[in-house]
């Protein structure tokens, strides 16, 4: 696309709220837009977008494209793809940023294919090459053991950012921006698949991917019962409980708790692992943690190479003593 200009965020809004992932994308967009000297726009798809549009401006958008349509009230990959592609082709952005959320994982590759460009997946950071004004994206490779810098050559440059890779900017209700209604032509026949049913899992406590503190257990716990002890510690710390793939595959905890390459990527301030060896697939999902604390009886466990603090010993004794100390400090 010649004469492409600006940064476009493909945001998410549901229940009249702007998603946390969209807020994070706007922070990343402002950084690259500043380097380019261009504006930040966000595209919101849905049917009730007045409040999310104003929130998007408060979080850093210069312009909001509100794509209101009854068929977009609920996410559908075919319909959202048609609307997002139409928006990109009409607005002609230089850069498109999308969250690597459940929706973004499905929509991002389809959109890139539709536009005939590549997609930088699972990015931790984005910047601008000053010489070419192309997007540079940092992403983990080899199971998180290395970071690759990807140069985006197609136009638009598209990158999918890992949730929690950026902190949202402080919202400013006084910021001024433009809300533009963007009409799209959609019909039900464009949906080549159909939603048979929607199963909602009841969420208790803090969401794993949004938690500032995560306590995870692995195969070394020996069964599902010890996860109740992890829940006690997580609750005291105001955090969430995670698990390794081995614990999930054993049926001890639901798959929604899995941290790792094939699970959820988390970036907590504090990540406590209990009886997790530290396979590269698991570490790929927690590489963004600011502080890792490991508890394992094997002094040679790989997790200790990544942990800032480590305890070698029987997890039962260590966890019990640690939990009691935390209880005394928080409730004393």
pTM above 0.95, yes or no: no
Reading the block at residue 185, the tokens are: 């032509």
Which stretches within 237-314 are classed as H helix?
245-249, 280-286, 303-306
Give percent of the chain with pLDDT exceeding 90.
76
Predicted confidence band of residue 285 (pLDDT cuts 50, 70, 90)? confident
Q: Per-residue b/e over 124-134, b at no fewer than 16 CB within 10 Å?
A: bbbebeeeeeb
Give percent of the chain with pLDDT exceeding 70.
98
**pLDDT number for residue 203:** 65
Strand 95-99 with 120-123, pairing? unpaired
CA dist., res. 114 & res. 82, Å (int): 9
**pLDDT number for residue 25:** 97
pLDDT tens-digit profile of 143-158? 667 889 999 988 999 9
**pLDDT number for residue 332:** 65
- Closest by Cα among 277, 273, 39, 54 to 13: 54
Instruction: Over range 64-85, report the average pLDDT.
Output: 94
CA dist., res. 264 & res. 277, Å (int): 18
Q: Mean pLDDT score of the chain, rounded to an integer?
A: 92
Domains of the chain, each with CATH number or no CATH = 7-190 (3.40.50.620), 208-331 (3.40.50.1220)
What SS3 state is found at 289?
coil
> Is residue 314's pLDDT more than 80?
yes
Instruction: Over range 74-80, report the average pLDDT.
Output: 93
> Is residue 259's pLDDT more than 90?
yes
Instruction: Over range 211-237, report the average pLDDT.
Output: 95
Among 127-136, 149-158, 167-176, 184-193, which is the least confidently predicted range?
Answer: 184-193
> Is residue 250's pLDDT more than 70?
yes
CB 233 within 8 A of CB 272: yes
**pLDDT number for residue 264:** 87
Instruction: Over range 74-99, report the average pLDDT.
Output: 96
CA dist., res. 188 & res. 200, Å (int): 24
Instruction: Give me the long-range contacts of 154-157 (CB less than 8 A, separation at least 24).
Output: 154/115, 154/116, 154/117, 154/118, 155/1, 155/4, 155/94, 155/117, 156/1, 156/4, 156/8, 156/88, 156/92, 156/93, 156/94, 156/95, 156/96, 156/115, 156/117, 157/94, 157/95, 157/96, 157/117, 157/120
**pLDDT number for residue 1:** 58
Among 69-78, 113-122, 153-162, 186-195, which is the least confidently predicted range?
Answer: 186-195
**pLDDT number for residue 145:** 72
């Amino acid at each position: 696309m010649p004469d492409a200009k600006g940064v476009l965020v493909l945001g998410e809004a549901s229940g009249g709220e702007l998603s946390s992932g969209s807020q994070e994308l706007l922070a990343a967009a402002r950084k690259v837009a500043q380097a380019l000297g261009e504006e930040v726009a966000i595209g919101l798809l849905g049917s009730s977008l007045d409040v999310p549009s104003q929130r998007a401006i408060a979080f850093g958008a210069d312009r909001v494209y509100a794509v209101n349509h009854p068929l977009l009230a609920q996410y559908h990959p075919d319909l959202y793809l048609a609307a997002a592609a139409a928006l990109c082709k009409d607005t002609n952005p230089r850069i498109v940023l999308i969250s690597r959320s459940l929706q973004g994982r499905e929509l991002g590759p389809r959109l890139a294919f539709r536009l005939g460009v590549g997609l930088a997946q699972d990015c931790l950071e984005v910047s601008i090459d000053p010489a070419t004004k192309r997007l540079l994206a940092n992403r983990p490779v080899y199971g998180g053991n290395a970071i690759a810098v990807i140069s985006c050559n197609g136009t638009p440059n598209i990158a999918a950012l890992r949730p929690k890779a950026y902190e949202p900017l402080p919202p400013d209700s006084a910021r001024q921006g433009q809300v533009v209604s963007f009409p799209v032509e959609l019909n039900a026949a464009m949906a080549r698949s159909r939603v048979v049913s929607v199963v909602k899992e009841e969420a208790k406590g803090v969401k794993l991917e949004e938690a500032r503190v995560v306590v995870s257990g692995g195969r070394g716990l020996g069964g599902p019962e010890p996860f109740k002890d992890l829940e006690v510690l997580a609750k005291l710390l105001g955090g969430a409980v995670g698990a390794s793939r081995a614990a999930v595959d054993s049926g001890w905890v639901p798959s929604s708790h899995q941290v790792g390459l094939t699970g959820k990527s988390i970036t907590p301030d504090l990540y406590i692992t209990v009886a997790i060896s530290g396979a590269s697939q698991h570490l790929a999902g927690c590489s963004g943690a600011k502080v890792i604390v490991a508890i394992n009886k094997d002094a040679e466990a790989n997790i200790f190479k990544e942990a800032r603090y480590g305890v070698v010993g029987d997890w039962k004794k260590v966890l019990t003593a640690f939990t009691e100390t935390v209880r005394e400090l928080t409730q004393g």
